[in-house]
Amino acid sequence: MTEKEFLDIRRRFPILERKVAGRDMVYLDNAATSQTPDSVVDEIAYLYRHTKANVHRGVHTVSQEATDLQEEARRKVARYINAPSPEEVIFTRGTTESINLVAYSMGQLFPAGGQIILTVMEHHANIVPWQLMAQRRGLAIRVVDIDDRGVLDQEQYRSLFNEKTVMAAFCHVSNVLGTVNPVKEMTAFAHSRGIPVLVDGAQGTPHLPVDVQDIGCDFYAFSSHKMYGPCGIGVLFGRREWLEKMPPYQGGGEMISHVSFSGTTFAELPFKFEAGTPDFVDIAAFSKAFDFIEEVGIDTIAAREHELLEYTTRRLENEVEGLRIYGTAPHKSGVISFLVGKAHPYDTGLLLDKLGVEVRTGHHCAQPLMERFSIPGTVRASFAVYNSLRDCDAFVDALKRIAPMLQ
């Protein structure tokens, strides 16, 4: 990526020009939510002004236009992740709802006494829904551990499968450690035992090429707001064979074929799982985020973020006294979680904010992982394609400035 190409990308995100505490803002909280380019924001404004009408329910022109835009977004999602068909792409409110949908609906098919395999590095969104289902259905949860680098114990993973296993669910990329898991190999092993797999891709799709057919997973979940799109939109890819077996997650309009008081028949996929009026404006605007990613190139994005990760990690390790990085797997995404001295992560984050550096602090919705490392939380810096080496320098220099206060 040339300097001119980078500056062109960065200019599409006006928020990056704002000030925090009287300084140029350095935004390094992309794992929580990425910023949104002008093309997406402009599309949302245009649609609210010119094409706001409920989808799938009207014969009038504006409704048909809105429907076409939403369904084109579905086709674009399917192409981006190489789903076999758009009918296997379900729109939700985010990764969390996507996983809840699978846990609830798949859970209805599980026998009592079954076991679900998770990992210690999961986000709460890929833990709590399974716990709720386990309580309702009398299931057990088994957990795969990691080594001190943040690499999953694959031998333990394979050993946990037995005749009671009914499901395996794991993240593509850890939101805390940045670890990129070998999801294709893990899925293949589960399938060799006849077990379906869900992959939490919230931290995968923004940063890596994703091909659900190559991975082989049965479900893949992700969110728009982490990949330059609007908030409140999520995606669930599900294999048709499972989606047709699963009961609906919610009932209401849109997801029915016929309703009477003697019984209801459900709509065909994907509408069977899309009850109620969807956020058709933001779904349609999500298309513009895909346009942005495809224009820049996901491989270019991955390479840029890897450059930022390596550069920043090297400076932190060599220049910041008392710093400890959590997550040193050989295959990492653009996330650095760390602590400095004896300071609580909140205090470190607060001081960085006073210097214009925006990072995330806390347990990052991964409390079991924090317990694994015996820490209360971490400070997390995470990168996107619009971040610069200058951002990285400002971050490290700010941390060097405050580090003596944190020992």
Q: What is the pLDDT of residue 89?
A: 98
Q: Say whether 365 is catalytic.
A: yes
State mean pLDDT over 157-176: 98
pLDDT of amino acid 227: 97
Predicted model pTM:
0.96
- Note the pLDDT of residue 298: 97
**Residue 152 binned pLDDT confidence (cut-offs 50, 70, 90):** very high
Place of tokens 């076409």: 68
323 SS3 class = strand
Does the pLDDT value for residue 108 go beyond 80? Answer: yes
Residue 1 has pLDDT above 80, yes or no: no
Q: What is the mean pLDDT of residues 175-200?
A: 98
What pLDDT, on a 0 to 100 scale, did the predictor assign at position 55? 87
| Residues forming a β-bridge with 324 | 339
User: What is the overall mean pLDDT for the chain?
Assistant: 95
pLDDT grade, residue 92 (50/70/90)?
very high
State what percent of residues in the chain have pLDDT above 90: 89
pLDDT of res. 211: 98
Helices first, then strands: H and E counts in the chain: 14, 17
CA dihedral 289→295→300→302, nearest 10 degrees, is: 20
pLDDT band at 254 (very low <50, low <70, confident <90, very high): confident
Residue range 9-65, pLDDT digits in tens? 999 999 999 999 999 999 999 999 999 999 999 999 999 999 998 888 778 999 899
Which residue from 318, 342, 317 is spatially nearest to 327, judged by alpha carbons? Answer: 317
Q: Which of 113-122, 353-362, 398-407 comes out lowest in average pLDDT?
A: 398-407
pLDDT (0 to 100) of residue 258: 83
CB 312, CB 395: distance < 8 Å: yes
- The residue extents of the domains of the chain are 3-30+297-402, 41-294
Calpha distance 144→153 (Å, rounded): 7
Residue 282 confidence (pLDDT) above 80: yes
Find, among 259, 126, 136, the residue nearest to 197 by Cα.
126
Which pLDDT does position 255 carry in this prediction? 79
Q: Of all residues in the chain, what percent are helix, strand and coil, respectively (each to 5)? A: 45, 20, 40
322-374 pLDDT, tens per residue? 999 999 999 999 999 999 999 999 999 999 999 999 999 999 999 999 999 99
Residue 143's pLDDT is 98
Q: What is the pLDDT of residues 373-398, one digit of tens each?
A: 999 999 999 999 999 999 999 999 99
Q: Please tell me which residue in 171, 217, 365, 392 is annotated as part of the active site.
A: 365
Tell me if 205 sits within 8 A of 227, measured CB to CB.
Answer: yes
- The answer to whether the 3-30+297-402 and 41-294 domains have the same CATH topology is no
- Level-2 CATH architecture, domain 41-294: 3-Layer(aba) Sandwich (3.40)
pLDDT at 242 over 80: yes
Residue 19 is which amino acid? K
Report residue 107 as tokens: 């859970």
pLDDT band at 269 (very low <50, low <70, confident <90, very high): confident
3-30+297-402 carries CATH number 3.10.105.10: no
